[in-house]
Amino acid sequence: EPEVTQTPSHQVTQMGQEVILRCVPISNHLYFYWYRQILGQKVEFLVSFYNNEISEKSEIFDDQFSVERPDGSNFTLKIRSTKLEDSAMYFCASTPWAGDTQYFGPGTRLTVL
Amino acid sequence: SQQGEEDPQALSIQEGENATMNCSYKTSINNLQWYRQNSGRGLVHLILIRSNEREKHSGRLRVTLDTSKKSSSLLITASRAADTASYFCATDRDDYKLSFGAGTTVTVRA
């Protein structure tokens, strides 16, 4: 069964450094998402992406964040200058069409020191 | 807030028993999805129920939706140790982003 994959599984970085989290959505899916879960807290929506542009973004998704679909398979989340409070599990999700099941990847645990 | 809220926060049951958890939300939805998360791991999709549906089944899972009460329930029958996990409801309005609740932590004792 097709799955959403994410790399790396764990990323450790120094505060102020740039990180890129990578996702490969399910191949025939058209809508892509990033969510994050700070330890012990709820899963929070960050951004949705469709037709090569951002559909919606949350208040969390400020100018330090960006997303890109550089080719036909990868979907990336970049954090330009990481802060301690960016430490969280970041999940990528995809769905074939809006309003359908969102399939989540296994997550990337980001630790900012 | 659109977020679903699960009840109870934690549930401990004996293997073989049924587990029921509830989710309440505040505004109209397009659909409601239930996910399972094992400790520190990814979100596994369990079931999606649309706003015009009242009940769905998948294996040992039964989900109900009452849009008049803005609530949903997830029933796991004949629980197993492997069902030990956190369970989340997530609501999807017409904006197609999911709003998650805080989850119910289920522990199944052998």
Q: How far apart are CA A21 and CA A78, in angstroms?
A: 6
Partner residue opposite A104 with nearest CB, options B43, B95, B101: B43
Residues whose CB falls within 8 Å of the CB of residue B8, separated by 6 or more in sequence, listed in order:
B21, B104
| pLDDT tens by residue, A55-71 | 999 999 999 999 999 88
Token digits of residue A31: 């809508």
CB contacts of A42 in chain B (<8 Å) are 3, 100-103
CB contact under 8 A, B90 and A100: no
Question: How many other CB atoms sit within 10 Å of the CB of residue B10?
Answer: 11
Q: How far apart are CA B92 and CA B95, in angstroms?
A: 7
CB contact under 8 A, A99 and B45: no
Among B1, B43, B47, B104, the residue to mutate for chain A (most A Cβ within 10 A): B43
Tens-digit pLDDT string for chain A (113 aa): 789 999 999 999 999 999 999 999 999 999 999 999 999 889 999 999 999 999 999 999 999 999 999 887 899 999 999 999 999 999 999 999 888 999 999 999 999 99
**Does the pLDDT value for residue B56 go beyond 70?**
yes
Partner residue opposite A99 with nearest CB, options B30, B40, B90: B30
B13 touching A (Cβ < 8 Å):
no
In this prediction, residue B96 carries a pLDDT of: 75
B12 touching A (Cβ < 8 Å):
no
CB contact under 8 A, B41 and A106: yes
